[in-house]
Structure 1
Amino acid sequence: MNIKGCIFILTAAVMWGLIGPVSKFPIEQGVSPLENAFWRAIFAWILFAVHACRIRRVSIAAKDLPRIIGFGFIGVTVFYGSYQLAVQDVGAALASVLLYTAPAWVAFMSWLLLGEKMGPVKLAALGITICGVVCVSLGPQLFGTGTEIRFTWFGIICGLASGFTYALYYIYGKTIFARYTTPTVFLYALPVGALCMTPFFEFTHKTATSWLSLVALAIICTYGAYSVYYAGLKYLEATTASVIATVEPVVAAILAWLWWNESFDWTGYLGSAMIILAVLMIVMEKKVYAFFSKPQPQSV
């Protein structure tokens, strides 16, 4: 395994793991979650625009404009917004775990929309994901355990919505991302996504801490994370990179505990482990099949 590639992917995962814990700083100071998402999109757009101009990849075909506008709404407005709302309502740690239901959504939508096979490994992973979500969301009520995080159904739904819309990046990856560079796509998608958020929040006064957090969300958690992740893909297979990137919710949980005193009960940790296990099953599906299809040694 290429060490340089591993370092790149781990760095990207750590950067993404910062999203929830960093987002809580402005939220705790009165900035709405959707305004958080708005500024994340705007500041990241500036960086991607500079990048697109530098590599001279700023043009798109007119026929692809509706798809990119659609991606701006789904992949920026809904994805960024729902994730920030989940961070506010269920905490940074659980929001990150629910985001990682994305591979299960990918498996389901690939079967539904792209005609890809839904084999036993994917079906099992989908079932494990559902059980994991039930554990983290209903565990305290079902088993009567206490928890440091107050769950709301709205927050759970927003967390699942963030996983669903993040999964659509894969579907779009089969179309627009296959024809354009990432900076080119985000050059158009980010301002569309930011504009669609504006009717749903009011701009508020922000402290220096809030502004620093918002800039960090754009520079570190968005532009930086994507850039480092795709640099790592030059050295590693996508499957390997996906496995390494599952440290993201672990990073988010640790930082949420250190900075915000967030913690799960045992059902939350069990559910989180199940969701991460399901992710590993999906991304390692081919290797699982290869392992079980190996010819067994004949007994003498």
Structure 2
Amino acid sequence: MALSTLSKWLLAFAIASFVLQSELVQLVQSSKDYYKPWFILYVAHGAYALFLPFQYIYMRTKVSHSEYLKLIQRNIDTLPYTSKFGIWQRMTILTILFTSASLFWYISVSKIPIGDITAIYNTSCFFTYVLSTLLLNEQFKWLKLSAVGISIIGIACISLGPRISVSGHSDQFIGYASAIISSFCVAFYEVIYTKIGITFTPSLFFSINITGRIGVVTILLGPILFPIFHFTGFETFQLPPIEAWPYILLVALLGMIFNALFLLVITFAGPVTAAIGILVSIPLTSLVDWVLVGTPFGWNTGIGSALIFIGFFVLQYDSEPQQLLTETEPLLE
């Protein structure tokens, strides 16, 4: 069965925000000469906390304060493994995984071409499929494996093709290694989110609430790493120049949009379908990079892009969309 119309629109907007965010991060760390991946990540992920007050203001137009709190608790009570994990324990686990994936992605930016970063990052679909069968007991299907395989071949065509060097050899090694680690971490995050962060009936309301909670955990625990990174020399603390702030804030906004939408796609379509779907960002990022930066969009990118699209459309017909739960339905029982 094909993806639902809602899932397709969510995925489309998520892809657009990811492409724009990728180009802006590269701009800040290169053109604005501010290569501080942890600081940019901290601002971007900390901004997720804004979802909570925005959600509360919106919901107060529909329900009372007490009903709002009951709604949150009702969603929490339907999470799996309630006897093992409290809500903030879950949020800490998800934040660590998500932050690890993002930090390695930020490190790779400006060290290797953005098209290569996006291609390697999105090999997470392979890790997602393997981890889903191991941790989620997902049924093995040859059609789904074929879709992943086709997409992986497409990624190989893009990333193994000729590219213009953007940095020194050692920087490139760090960039490619970071992108690979990021790919695994994001797959682990998606699968663990599916295992401990999704209610029995998928809830748009609670997916947004989880995103906000990840922002709160980032704000509270993130400062611990600033002195560690500073004194170890990994990233000396330095505030960005004034002209870089608008771009960093825009990165944060796009990150909020992407993460919220992508969580919804995972919720309603499953982690493997979401991972394959976001692969569409690879050819789009390469195209944008070619237009703005001049990185060649060669034959390898064209062939790889075609294979990625084929893999995505093969997979979506083997995925059943889940029922959408509105933000007020739990109160109507």
CA–CA separation in structure 1 for the residues paired with 2:92 and 2:287: 36
User: Do the aligned residues in 2 keep the contact of 1:12 with 1:229 (CA within 8 Å)?
Assistant: yes
Q: After the TM superposition, which residues 77-226 of structure 1 pair with which residues of structure 2 at under 5 Å, given as runs?
A: 78-140=100-162, 147-150=163-166, 152-179=172-199, 180-184=206-210, 185-191=213-219, 194-195=222-223, 197-198=225-226, 199-200=228-229, 201-219=235-253, 221-226=254-259
1:65 aligns with 2:88: yes
TM-score, scaled relative to structure 2: 0.67
The 3 A distance-change label for structure 1 pair 71 and 230 is closer
The 3 A distance-change label for structure 1 pair 282 and 209 is farther
Amino acid at match of 1:253: S
Amino acid at match of 1:39: V
1:75 aligns with 2:93: no
The 3 A distance-change label for structure 1 pair 284 and 31 is farther
Deviation of 1:120 after TM superposition, in Å, equals 1.6
Amino acid at match of 2:250: A
CA–CA separation in structure 2 for the residues paired with 1:101 and 1:113: 18
User: Do the aligned residues in 2 keep the contact of 1:41 with 1:193 (CA within 8 Å)?
Assistant: no
Return the match for 1:238 from 264, 269, 273. Answer: 269
Return the match for 1:11 from 7, 10, 13. Answer: 13
- 2:329 aligns to what? none
CA–CA separation in structure 2 for the residues paired with 1:174 and 1:97: 23
Amino acid at match of 1:217: V
Alignment deviations for residues 87-144 of structure 1 (CA, whole Å, 9 cap, x no partner): 222222222222222222211101122222222223334444444444444444xxxx
Deviation of 1:176 after TM superposition, in Å, equals 3.6
The 3 A distance-change label for structure 1 pair 137 and 8 is closer
Amino acid at match of 2:293: W
- 1:250 aligns to what? 283
- 1:42 aligns to what? 46
User: Do the aligned residues in 1 keep the contact of 2:280 with 2:308 (CA within 8 Å)?
Assistant: no
User: Do the aligned residues in 2 keep the contact of 1:101 with 1:275 (CA within 8 Å)?
Assistant: no
CA–CA separation in structure 2 for the residues paired with 1:282 and 1:79: 24
User: Do the aligned residues in 2 keep the contact of 1:125 with 1:278 (CA within 8 Å)?
Assistant: yes
User: Do the aligned residues in 2 keep the contact of 1:16 with 1:225 (CA within 8 Å)?
Assistant: yes
CA–CA separation in structure 2 for the residues paired with 1:106 and 1:193: 27
Amino acid at match of 1:68: M
Deviation of 1:43 after TM superposition, in Å, equals 2.8
Return the match for 1:31 from 26, 31, 34. Answer: 34
Deviation of 1:149 after TM superposition, in Å, equals 4.5
SS at match of 1:18: helix
Deviation of 1:17 after TM superposition, in Å, equals 1.4
TM-score, scaled relative to structure 1: 0.74
Paired residue total: 275
Amino acid at match of 2:45: A
Q: After the TM superposition, which residues 287-298 of structure 1 pair with which residues of structure 2 at under 5 Å, given as runs?
A: none
CA–CA separation in structure 2 for the residues paired with 1:150 and 1:188: 36
Q: Which runs of 5+ in 1 are unaligned?
A: 141-146, 288-300
Amino acid at match of 2:249: V
CA–CA separation in structure 2 for the residues paired with 1:133 and 1:111: 22
Q: Which runs of 5+ in 2 are unaligned?
A: 60-67, 77-81, 200-205, 230-234, 321-333
- 1:294 aligns to what? none
CA–CA separation in structure 2 for the residues paired with 1:85 and 1:117: 35
RMSD: 3.6
Amino acid at match of 1:23: V
User: Do the aligned residues in 2 keep the contact of 1:79 with 1:165 (CA within 8 Å)?
Assistant: yes
CA–CA separation in structure 2 for the residues paired with 1:127 and 1:245: 15
Moved more, 210-219 or 36-45: 36-45
SS at match of 2:109: helix
Amino acid at match of 1:148: I
Deviation of 1:70 after TM superposition, in Å, equals 1.8
Amino acid at match of 2:173: W
The 3 A distance-change label for structure 1 pair 187 and 150 is closer
